Amino acid sequence: MLAIQDLTKIYPNGTHALHAFSLDIQNGEVIAVIGGSGCGKSTLLRLLSGLETPNTGSIALRGRILKEPDALVNIVFQEPRLFPWLTVAQNVGFGLKHLPADERSDIISQVLARLGLGGFEDRWPKELSGGQAQRVSLARAIVTKPSVLLLDEPFSALDAMTREDLQSHLIDLWQDLGSTLVLVTHDIEEAVFMADRVIVMRPFPGRIFQDVRIDLPRPRNRMNSGFTELRRELSDLLALSLIPEKSNGPILHRLG
């Protein structure tokens, strides 16, 4: 569904951010990408979103090469990036202007309700807490029903309870939408909770170290022994990825 082939990104200052990154992602998969600083996680998302172009390689969505931002691919950043001059409803409905007003209003209200923001349609961004603003950002990203949703550490600035609540909300919405999710995170517990596969990156330059399949049923229990073991094993793999070593390509693992 999403075919990433030999992506390499070298910035003008000489920084080799990503090298020969290849990955096939199936329709509806949740992929988490973890790794130390300098492993190209955010660069990967910017390439997938069309905000930057690779030096070499290609990105194909359902067989169609992507070379610029695409309506079927949305991205959510760490900070909400809401339009301060628009209300919550206007922010969420920004990509629905082609729909009749009544239909647009109904869709916006439904999505906001699903994210715990029912009745917030007329609020301004400045009136929202950090967690509420990020919920609005998520609502804006999913309301157009994208084929691919990219998430660049969207919960990292939130407190633990809000973060876990939003993770659960997003997984519920994902199960309804059927979108493919690609999540960049520093939080190993978040990766285990959300992902079908976890891509562990090696830095300098960024490349795949290991591709780990997470075989845990949903909904997932963070206190389950299997969950705890997976979290520990991924922590060990992440530590190993930071040890300088000649890479022989990705190592495929199945855990759980």
pLDDT tens sequence across 199-244: 999 998 999 999 999 999 999 999 999 999 999 999 999 999 998 7
pLDDT-flagged residues of the chain (< 50): 247-248, 256
Where do the structural domains in the chain lie, given as residue ranges?
Answer: 2-69+150-155+184-255
Predicted pLDDT of residue 37: 85
What is the C-alpha separation between 226 and 114, in angstroms, rounded? 29
Residue 33 is predicted with a pLDDT of 98
Q: What pLDDT, on a 0 to 100 scale, did the predictor assign at position 156?
A: 87
Tell me the C-alpha to C-alpha distance, in Å, between residue 45 and each of 115, 165, 181: 24, 24, 11
What's the confidence (pLDDT) of residue 249? 53
Please answer whether residues 169 and 115 qualify as being in contact, where contact means their C-beta atoms are separated by less than 8 angstroms.
yes
Question: What pLDDT was estimated at residue 247?
Answer: 46
* CB contact at 8 A, 36 and 238: yes
- 18-41: string of b/e by CB count within 10 Å (b at 16+)? bbbbebebeeebbbbbbbbebbbb
CATH architecture of 2-69+150-155+184-255: 3-Layer(aba) Sandwich (3.40)
